[in-house]
Amino acid sequence: MSRWNDQFQSHAFRNTWNSLKAALGEEDLEKNGNEAAIKEIARLRKVTAYVDSVLEQIDPELIPLSHLDGLNQHASNCFQQVNTFKGNQNIGHLHNANTHADSVIVLFSQTPFALLARQGDGLAHAANAYASTLDQHLIRLNQTVNNEIETVKTQVASIQANIAEEKKSLDNLNAQITTVAQTIQAQTAEFNTQFQANEKTRTDKFETAATKLQQKADDEFRDVATKAGTILKVLGKFHDDAAKVFGVVVNTMQAGAYSLYANEEKSTANLLRWSAIILMILGVAVLVVPEVAKIMNNVAGYTLDWKVTLGRVPFSLILFVPAFYLARESSKHRNNEILNRRRELILSTIDPYLALLDEKKAEEIKVEIAKGIFSEGNLPNEQTVGDSSNVIAQIANLVKQVRDK
């Protein structure tokens, strides 16, 4: 055997072509009974039968190897499309498969030798394959139709039997409904008679009971109204007493607060006053003590040195200035103490004073007193301590008096 025979027999095209024929020969390739798909499959089988007849006539030593490569490519694509159709039953894949089959036919028509001698037999074989496929489809379709007809006949017979039974049941039900309707009519008439009699009796009892209940409710309402009036009167008295007690408590608490403020102002005023007195004594001591010491040491020969004495004046001023400032601040706190004492006295004695007055007049007096208590300002007839300019003037007068001596 020549190498061209070996290449032809072992070429991949032969295996691919056999796989394609095996796939097309499967009985369950088309599962939905689609006539268009059956025709596509029949045409593919016809092409494979024709190509097989051509392959039987080919002389392996006269066909180029490049033809086999091209045939293998198209046969492989056709096989892939057939397998894809088997998975999803999409007829488009069969269209693509027939397109690749056309390419296979075209390549075989381009072989460099004539095959006309047995071409008729090949076409007849291909036609038989096509017709066989359609016949198989018709046989399966006929069998399916017969099976469906038998199934329908069985179902029709079952339905007819069920209809007869249902009709019999309907007749029985109709008779029962007639009996029940007659019974209901009789019972309804009797119920109406009894209901009217009972309704009349119930109405009479209800009117009698309603009259008694209405009379009793009126009596109860009068008693409740009387008790409620008494309760409201007592609550009103309690409200007035509570308002008075609340006013007294508030005034007492406010008076206590003003007393606390007054005590704080008193403590501050006393502290500032004693601080001022101590500073003034120290200022005087700075001026006088050195001279007293000289007199005690030398009474007979003592002579006043005005220059030395005046030299001590600035040191005395250092003590006199804060002493005057503390004295003025003490006076302010004392005035605040007096003001808070007056407010405490007014708030403590206002309620007994207003108890016997007319309510309107008492309110007017309360307003005026509130304005006087809670307004800002100094107490009447209050003498204020001089400002810083007066302090400086007093210090200047003191220096002048000492110089004149």
The predicted structure's pLDDT at residue 295: 73
Query: Using CA atoms, how far apart are residues 58 and 13, in angstroms rounded to an integer?
Result: 14
* pLDDT one digit per residue (tens) for the chain, 405 residues: 678 788 888 888 889 999 988 888 887 888 887 888 888 888 888 888 888 888 887 778 777 778 888 888 998 999 999 999 988 989 998 899 999 989 888 888 776 554 443 454 544 454 455 455 555 555 565 666 677 787 887 888 888 888 888 888 888 888 889 888 888 888 888 888 888 888 888 888 888 888 888 888 888 888 888 877 788 777 777 666 555 544 554 556 666 777 887 888 888 888 888 988 898 888 888 777 777 777 777 766 666 667 776 777 787 778 778 888 888 888 888 888 888 777 777 776 666 666 666 677 666 666 666 666 665 444 444 344 344 344 445 444 443 443 454
Assess contact for 90 and 6: CB atoms under 8 A: no
The predicted structure's pLDDT at residue 380: 40
- The values of phi and psi at residue 271, to 5°, are -60, -45
152 occurs within a structural domain: no
The predicted structure's pLDDT at residue 73: 92
CA-to-CA separations, 64 to 59, 71, 73, 111, in angstroms, rounded: 10, 11, 15, 8
The predicted structure's pLDDT at residue 144: 67
pTM over 0.85: no
The predicted structure's pLDDT at residue 368: 66
Any alpha helices (H) in 3-34, and if so which ranges?
3-10, 12-24
The predicted structure's pLDDT at residue 352: 67
Which of 47, 82, 113 terminates a domain? The answer is: 113
Query: Using CA atoms, how far apart are residues 41 and 101, in angstroms rounded to an integer?
Result: 11
The predicted structure's pLDDT at residue 118: 43
155 occurs within a structural domain: no
Structural tokens at position 397: 């007068």
Task: Count CA atoms within 13 Å of residue 204 on its CB side.
Answer: 5
Which of 66, 86, 113 terminates a domain? The answer is: 113
Burial call 86-118: b when 16+ CB within 10 Å, e when fewer: eeeeebebbebbbebbebbeebbeebeeeeeee
* Residue 285, H or E segment: helix 119-297
170 occurs within a structural domain: no
49 occurs within a structural domain: yes
State which amino acid sits at residue 131. Answer: A
SS3 assignment, position 25? coil
The predicted structure's pLDDT at residue 374: 60
198 occurs within a structural domain: no
Assess contact for 331 and 385: CB atoms under 8 A: yes
Which of 113, 136, 156 terminates a domain? The answer is: 113
Give me the number of domains the chain comprises: 2
Burial call 331-370: b when 16+ CB within 10 Å, e when fewer: bbbbbbbbbbbebbebbbebeeebeeeeeeebeeeeeebe
Q: Taking the CB of residue 157, how many other CB atoms lie within 10 A of it?
A: 10
Assess contact for 272 and 329: CB atoms under 8 A: yes
Q: Which domain holds residue 76?
A: 3-113
* Residue 144, H or E segment: helix 119-297
In angstroms, how far is the first alpha carbon of the chain from the final one?
167
The predicted structure's pLDDT at residue 384: 40
321 occurs within a structural domain: yes
